[in-house]
Amino acid sequence: MIRVGIPQALYYYQYYPMWKTFFEGIGAETVVSPPTNKDILDLGNSRAVAETCLPVKVFFGHVISLIDKCDYMFIPAIRSLGEEAYHCSKFLGLPDMTKAIVPKCPPILDPEIDLNKGRRNLWKVIYSLGRHFTFDKGKIKKAVEEARKANLAYRNKMSDERITPIQAIDGMHRSTEESDFDSHVAPTLSVAIIGHPYVIYDEYINHRLISRVEAMGARVFTPEMAHRKSLEIAMARLIGKPHWSFEIDVIGAGECYLEAKVDGIISVAVFGCGPDSMMIDTVRHRARECKTPFLFLSLDEHSSEGGLVTRLEAFLDMVKRKKKECPPTTSPYLSNDGRERICV
């Protein structure tokens, strides 16, 4: 069977189940790189230009680790996933950057996804991608349909059960299993962690942020745990039409959880992220208006665990004190009537 390599970085967290279903449907096998570790980071870091942002460097590391394990590398160039909302340039240049930086990379499958050009174009792109594996048009069509369903099921699973993509993909708690944290503390606070999926869920980049915050006695909410619809509504209210496809993960989630009255918001971004530098400012401004504690964590390959822990502890202490001083007046439990309600 033809093996298709999928690096466990960037889009992986959002689309892996969909891609897996699709490639299996057309008779290919997917190979995923291991979770980020020091070797992977060093490999990517040593080849990319210094100014490149951390997740992209990590991505190159994952590609390098997959070199001999697959026949094709799947790196889509995603231009747009919505009407006139675009992806960051680095996502578009990803296949070509990989080719330049990792010359030994197996042939790259780089469909250009641009929903602005309409469904017909999308189908054409997917069809020419499927042609690498099968000439059976019906088979491709069926695989696409199944992939669409798998994606929907995956999204719903995350928002219904309020779990992270990693839990949804593995079907288990990867972090707590090998974690040395005491996760039996009953949560007393609710904290929203907002940012791009590839930053929030890559435990090596963010030093196991989610488990850490949970161990400090907070219930964590991430953008994937809210319903897509409520994020969209929140985003439309705050800024109207989005400029970037992933604005929903930052501004949408920020506004949505602010309205749900979480006790604190942690916004995680990597140093040098162009879109984040603009978007987070909007959320910060809103958080100030709502008088919600807001922590901005900027990560890069030099960020140390110690510094991060100190900042988290200080932040959660502040959140706790604020909660004691002015107890919130929200209603008791989670409801999913289009508006997220959060309480612990």
Partner 1 sequence: MRVGIPHFGNVYIPVKGIARKLGATDRDLIIPPPTSQRTLNLGVKYSPVEACLPYKLTLGNLIEACELGAEVLVQARGTGICRLGYYSRNQERILHDLGYNIRFTHFDVSHHKIRSFLKLVKNMTNGASWPKIISASYFGLGKLFALDRIEKVVHKSRAVELEKGRANQVYREAIGAVDEATGGREVRGVTKKYIDKLNRLPKDPEADPVKVGIVGEIFVVLDPFANMDIEMELGKLGVEVRRTMSLSRWVKYSLFLNGLGIDEWKEVHKVAMPYLKRDVGGDGWESVGEKIIHAREGYDGVIHLAPFTCMPETVAQNIMPSTKEDIPVLAVPCDEQMAKPGMVTRLEAFVDLLRFRRKRRRI
Tell me which of 166, 220, 280, 319 binds partner 1, using CB under 8 A: 280
> Does residue 99 belong to the site contacting partner 1 (CB under 8 A)?
yes
Contacts of 299 (CB under 8 A, 6+ apart): 54, 199, 205, 206, 268, 269, 270, 271
Report the alpha-carbon distance of residue 111 to residue 95 in Å, rounded. Answer: 9
**Among the candidate windows 83-91, 151-159, 192-200, 329-337, which touches partner 1 by CB under 8 A?**
83-91
String marking each residue 183-222 x if it binds partner 1 according to CB under 8 A: ----------------------------------------
Q: Decide whether 145 or 281 has the Cβ nearer to partner 1.
A: 281
Whether the Cβ atoms of residue 44 and residue 97 lie closer than 8 Å to each other: no
> Does residue 105 belong to the site contacting partner 1 (CB under 8 A)?
no
Q: How far is the CB of 129 from partner 1 (least distance, A)?
A: 15
Whether the Cβ atoms of residue 70 and residue 3 lie closer than 8 Å to each other: yes
**Among the candidate windows 30-38, 84-92, 169-177, 322-330, which touches partner 1 by CB under 8 A?**
84-92
Tell me which of 46, 128, 277, 331 binds partner 1, using CB under 8 A: 277
Report the alpha-carbon distance of residue 15 to residue 219 in Å, rounded. Answer: 25
Which DSSP state fits 340? Answer: B
Tell me which of 30, 31, 45, 77 binds partner 1, using CB under 8 A: 77
> Does residue 274 belong to the site contacting partner 1 (CB under 8 A)?
yes
Whether the Cβ atoms of residue 308 and residue 88 lie closer than 8 Å to each other: no
**Among the candidate windows 22-30, 123-131, 274-282, 321-329, which touches partner 1 by CB under 8 A?**
274-282
- In degrees, to the nearest 5, what angle opens at C-alpha 77 toward C-alphas 68 and 146? 80
Whether the Cβ atoms of residue 205 and residue 58 lie closer than 8 Å to each other: yes
Q: How far is the CB of 8 from partner 1 (least distance, A)?
A: 21
> Does residue 86 belong to the site contacting partner 1 (CB under 8 A)?
yes
Tell me which of 7, 55, 61, 275 binds partner 1, using CB under 8 A: 275
The phi, psi pair for 13, rounded to 5°, reads -65, -25
> Does residue 96 belong to the site contacting partner 1 (CB under 8 A)?
yes
Task: Please classify residue 22 by burial: count the beta carbons closer than 10 Å to its beta carbon, then call 0-12 exposed, 13-18 middle and 19+ buried.
Answer: buried
Report the alpha-carbon distance of residue 38 to residue 299 in Å, rounded. Answer: 15
Question: Residue count at the site for partner 1 (CB under 8 A)?
Answer: 40
Positions in the binding site for partner 1 (CB under 8 A)? 48-49, 51-53, 77, 79, 84, 86-90, 92-93, 95-97, 99-101, 103, 110, 112, 239, 243, 271-282, 285, 298
